[in-house]
Chains A and B, each alone.
Chain A
Amino acid sequence: MEKRLIKDENDRVDGIFKVTGKAKYFAEYELPGLTYGVLVTSTITKGRITSLDTRAAEKAPGVISVVSHLNKPSAPAYEQEGGSAMKIFYTDKIFYNGQPIAIVVANTFERATYAASLVKATYTKDAFNTDFEKAVGDAQAKKLQGQPDYKRGIENAYQTAEVKVEEKYHLPIETHNPMELHGIIADWRTNNQVVVYAKTQGVKATQGTIANVFKIPIENIQVNSEFVGGGFGMALRTWPVEIATVMASRQIGKPVKLVLTRMQMFTMVGNRPAAVQTIGLGAKKDGTLTGITHRAFGETSVYENFTEGVVNMAKFMYQCDNVNTQYTVVPVDLGVPIWMRGPGEATGAFALESAIDEMAHALDMDPLEFRIKNDPEKDQQRDKPFSDKNIKEAYRVGAQKIGWSERKNKPGSLVDGQWKMGYGVSIGVFNANRGRASVKGILKADGSLVLQSATSDIGPGTGTGMTLIASRVLKIPAGKIKFELGDSSLPQAPSQGGSATLSTVGSAVNDVCVALKSTVAELAANSNMDATANFADVLKKNNLPSIEVTKQSQAGKERDEYSMYSFSIHFVKVKVHSLTGVVKVDKIVSVGDSGTIVSPKTARSQMVGGAVGGVGMALTEESIIDHRFGRYINNNFADYHVPVNADIPEIEVHFINKPDPYINPMGAKGMGEIALIGFSAAVANAVFNATGKRIRTLPITPDKILAS
């Protein structure tokens, strides 16, 4: 019997496993005959492989095979024309520097690593460009529409407004860098049975991708991913290197394990795309917004297109009759990006929420007051009421907690020696999603409950949230409930992304528990038992070892009637050193307005994690490329700066915690994205309030403070 360290119904159900090392991550599975794959990557940025000499590697001790475009096994989907995904090992084309061109498989990791260094490639080289900002400014460079243009009212109305702000904002590439390195164990067994241990945000998605590439029945593939050491979006797809590992296993008939290096995490598993955005805002002198224009350019790759919701927020977040947006993606010779926490909305919110602050300053208004004045009554984009929105209350609570009344509207007013203090605020918003999911519930005669669904938990505390939902419906203590996930053989659930898991899977958990409850009630009535008899007694009386119910749950027409969003307000206090340019975040208050809070402890952790990620986005994170070579130059944890403990001050989290009456049975909305969205602007706005320096290019490093 495990000794519980903290007796709290809200505890993370897998917390003890995680902190004692019992939680098993993909790379820790030991399969009989396991072999080790190590990638060979391109050292040029664009061109073709003319030769690949694998002889020395093949002769090296312990090497079983070198798989590349020269000898790849059958992957029927890649043999067909068309399709947009990179067809790894089915092309000799090089699209970016660091692209995998072969996988060396050996009986130890060290031997595979050494043999990979013996593979020699020659290339023909083509001219390339990895500089996104250069491509944006180059009239000749290819540009693609990322989203249909949007217009409400008069286009560019800001230009003729009484007060106008027009500014440009720049974001660098950010790399997700979860602590757990990406990879996979693939075991292609006889009769085309494939077992996979993956790091994935969607076991069903991984299963489907493998089935599709190799054209084998989906039932042949078992994907396991019980624990994931962080994803932040980068594990939302099955990457070409994972397919390469499955190919290698198919070729050698043994399980193959691939774990990327930290350097490879920068090139082949996505990134937050760089962006250049222009915001135009127009307002009357009394602070009424009269025009919003948001034009954005986002980075994409030449071999696959990637788009995200960079300009979404401008369309509905503020009351404004004249709004137009444009989103263009610009391909560069780098690996394809992928959603990173808060995805495009976080990118867009940096620009929009900075510009809102700039407008408030231009109007000589308190930025909080300016926001409240332009808080929308309804969603003007969809012409629908919001299902639930408590922004004004959130502003009030956050302002009180950060000490907003201490703030002076005039920048540079609060000084302590060489330190200048300032306060900033911003809003974050993300679509409150609800998808379709199925959950199986097994109520046992011993009074315990097992719930099963093929969802994932990349860290938010999904198992905990689901357990608490079930516990509240069935009045069973959380300790008697087990929620099983991360297994593709379980009932269908979507990938964990877009802050939708609690809403989607949680609804199915709710429905299953309601159904179980009524089944038990029926049994009780039929066996002349009291309606309040406990489940175990009812099952025993009926000689049932267990009862099972599976339910599918999805949204209904309420989504057509209401506009559903989660909101967050971020308040930040900073101090900026006049001589060195160092910015220190002094205090953080994040207020979540995302319906009912199901699991207070893990919800708070989500918000804290978002704030830490936000500090990184605002102050430290940037993936740097030497464009002469097309190679990353700071691709390690010493040089790619995520915030450390010493960078993070007290973080106060507050929730409005009012149920959304329409979204789902719990009234709960997602929070993973809103924890980060807008945060970077709150920091930039605080830096401006402290110093009068408006930094429009992230991250806000000391050199930028000194230069402006």
Chain B
Amino acid sequence: MINFQYLRTTTSKSALNLISKDKNSKFLAGGTNLIDLMKRGVTSPEKLIDINHVPLKQIEAVGDQIIIGALASNTAVAEHALIKEKLPLLAMALNAGASAQLRNVATVGGNMMQRTRCGYFYDTEMPCNKRQPGSGCGAIGGFNRMHAIFGTSDQCIAVHPSDMCIALVALDATVVLSNAKGERKVLFKDFHRLPGDTPQLDNNLKADEMIVRLEIPNNNLNKNSYYLKVRDRASYAFALVSVGAALELSDNKIKDVRLAMGGVAHKPWRLTAAENFLKGKEASAENFEQAAKLAMTDAKGFGENNFKLQMAPNSIIEALTVAKSKA
């Protein structure tokens, strides 16, 4: 059998100590993705460091920020009164993800760390540059209905599967990372990577680091926000396209706006150009359409996913319209 060591720790300090000693170690939180990957032979860590008992589950308002511990469960965050009131977009995105059973054990940090659901990545008999650099990309020229239309490379067109991360990138979250020496902060939008020539790297977390918490600035976007997830069935399916939309309206004028998309890129895809266009304008159907058009600049289909070139702008319009219509 492929043996591995299972260690359990109750403090961040000892967790970081353990991970720094062994490059082929992995943290185990909810395990909803990592265990699958181990079963499929995609990854074979020598050590699993169970951090479920490390006290990083806080969900609290501190100053003008909301702090969420990396080990808070997806359910705990989605159900928390503070989140529902101040960050409804995040609650909606979380509830759109996975199934209730998975959300109960999946953590915030684990959600950020989940790997693509590209079928070629999971089948070790298939080519995949992300799993085995240099082996080729099965999805290019293959089954790419679920794949990216933005930020692709000729190495990889996989998408990041998270819903939660779409809300977090829209909400200007900051990720706090820690290693044995101390903490550093990374903007959420810079945490995940585009594939480029290194599709094996999903994000900028270093081998000796762990995610400890998120810091999300307060905002006035909570009244008019909506997470739209378009998928093949109503639950337990990854997004064909998803849109996180949040508006701060003054009368019908857009004071602030956040837009991000899922199911379209190797990382949570923030629609900055569309946001900039909408700021200060009327929240009108015409402007939403213009914004959606702007958001699609540089989009590129790979055959089976060409429908996303239409579904994505349509979904932006729909998400903005629903967000606006909220009382």
B84 at the A/B interface (Cβ < 8 Å)? no
Residues facing B in A500-531 (CB within 8 A) are none
Surface stretch bound by A, among B54-62, B141-149, B264-272: B141-149
Chain B contacts for A110, CB-based, 8 A: 1
Q: Which of B117, B143, B241, B307 lies in contact with A624, CB distance below 8 A?
A: B143
Q: Is the CB of A628 within 8 A of B311?
A: no
Contact with B along A624-667 (1 / 0, CB 8 A): 10101101011010110101111100000000000000000000
For the complex formed, measure the closest distance between the CB of A274 and the CB atoms of chain B, giving whole angstroms: 16
CA A577 to CA B241, docked complex, whole Å = 14
Closest to A44 in B: B125
B276 at the A/B interface (Cβ < 8 Å)? no
Chain A contacts for B145, CB-based, 8 A: 703
Main secondary structure of the interface of B (DSSP, over half): loop
B232 at the A/B interface (Cβ < 8 Å)? yes
Q: Is the CB of A629 within 8 A of B307?
A: no
Q: Is the CB of B1 within 8 A of A620?
A: no
Chain A contacts for B31, CB-based, 8 A: none
Q: Is the CB of B234 within 8 A of A580?
A: no
Closest to A627 in B: B142
Q: Which of B122, B143, B232, B235 lies in contact with A645, CB distance below 8 A?
A: B235
Closest to A261 in B: B39
B164 at the A/B interface (Cβ < 8 Å)? no
Range of interface residues on A (Cβ < 8 Å) = 35 or more
B199 at the A/B interface (Cβ < 8 Å)? no
Q: Is the CB of A703 within 8 A of B318?
A: no
A584 at the A/B interface (Cβ < 8 Å)? yes
With contacts A110-B1, A580-B318, A626-B143 known, is A631 near B126, CB below 8 A? yes
Chain A contacts for B126, CB-based, 8 A: 626, 629, 631
Chain B contacts for A702, CB-based, 8 A: 230, 232, 240, 307, 311
A582 at the A/B interface (Cβ < 8 Å)? yes
B41 at the A/B interface (Cβ < 8 Å)? yes
Q: Is the CB of B230 within 8 A of A418?
A: no
B310 at the A/B interface (Cβ < 8 Å)? yes
Q: Is the CB of B1 within 8 A of A111?
A: yes
For the complex formed, measure the closest distance between the CB of A612 and the CB atoms of chain B, giving whole angstroms: 12
CA A631 to CA B315, docked complex, whole Å = 33
Contact with A along B141-167 (1 / 0, CB 8 A): 111010000000000000000000000
Residues facing B in A591-636 (CB within 8 A) are 619-620, 624, 626, 628-629, 631, 633-634, 636
CA A582 to CA B311, docked complex, whole Å = 10
B6 at the A/B interface (Cβ < 8 Å)? no
Q: Is the CB of B234 within 8 A of A706?
A: no
B317 at the A/B interface (Cβ < 8 Å)? yes
CA A37 to CA B85, docked complex, whole Å = 53
CA A644 to CA B265, docked complex, whole Å = 26
A412 at the A/B interface (Cβ < 8 Å)? no
CA A111 to CA B2, docked complex, whole Å = 9
A160 at the A/B interface (Cβ < 8 Å)? no
CA A702 to CA B240, docked complex, whole Å = 9
For the complex formed, measure the closest distance between the CB of A422 and the CB atoms of chain B, giving whole angstroms: 19
Q: Which of B1, B142, B235, B237 lies in contact with A114, CB distance below 8 A?
A: B1
Residues facing A in B186-241 (CB within 8 A) are 228, 230-238, 240-241
CA A78 to CA B199, docked complex, whole Å = 49
Q: Is the CB of A114 within 8 A of B2?
A: yes
Q: Is the CB of B315 within 8 A of A580?
A: yes
Q: Is the CB of B119 within 8 A of A706?
A: no
B138 at the A/B interface (Cβ < 8 Å)? yes
A43 at the A/B interface (Cβ < 8 Å)? yes
Q: Is the CB of B117 within 8 A of A638?
A: yes
Q: Is the CB of B237 within 8 A of A580?
A: no
Q: Is the CB of A644 within 8 A of B307?
A: no
Q: Which of B2, B41, B314 lies in contact with A580, CB distance below 8 A?
A: B314
Q: Which of A579, A626, A644, A706 lies in contact with B317, CB distance below 8 A?
A: A579
For the complex formed, measure the closest distance between the CB of A295 and the CB atoms of chain B, giving whole angstroms: 28
Q: Point out which of B1, B234, B307 has the most chain A C-beta atoms below 10 A from its C-beta.
A: B1
For the complex formed, measure the closest distance between the CB of A209 and the CB atoms of chain B, giving whole angstroms: 31
CA A5 to CA B41, docked complex, whole Å = 45
Q: Is the CB of A644 within 8 A of B234?
A: yes
Q: Is the CB of B235 within 8 A of A581?
A: no
CA A624 to CA B241, docked complex, whole Å = 20
CA A634 to CA B143, docked complex, whole Å = 10
Q: Which of A114, A582, A629, A645 lies in contact with B230, CB distance below 8 A?
A: A582
With contacts A418-B318, A579-B318, A703-B311 known, is A628 near B141, CB below 8 A? yes
Contact with A along B45-86 (1 / 0, CB 8 A): 000000000000000000000000000000000000000000
Q: Is the CB of A706 within 8 A of B142?
A: no
Closest to B142 in A: A626
Chain A contacts for B142, CB-based, 8 A: 626, 628, 633
Chain A contacts for B183, CB-based, 8 A: none
A212 at the A/B interface (Cβ < 8 Å)? no
Chain B contacts for A620, CB-based, 8 A: 232-233
Can you report 7 residue pairs joining A to B where beta carbons are below 8 Å apart?
A418-B318, A582-B230, A628-B141, A634-B143, A647-B233, A703-B311, A706-B307
Closest 4 CB pairs of A and B: A646-B234, A703-B307, A579-B314, A633-B119
Given A631-B125, A647-B235, 18 additional A-B pairs, CB 8 A: A111-B1, A114-B1, A114-B2, A579-B317, A582-B231, A619-B232, A619-B233, A626-B138, A629-B126, A633-B120, A633-B123, A633-B143, A634-B143, A638-B117, A645-B235, A646-B235, A703-B307, A706-B310
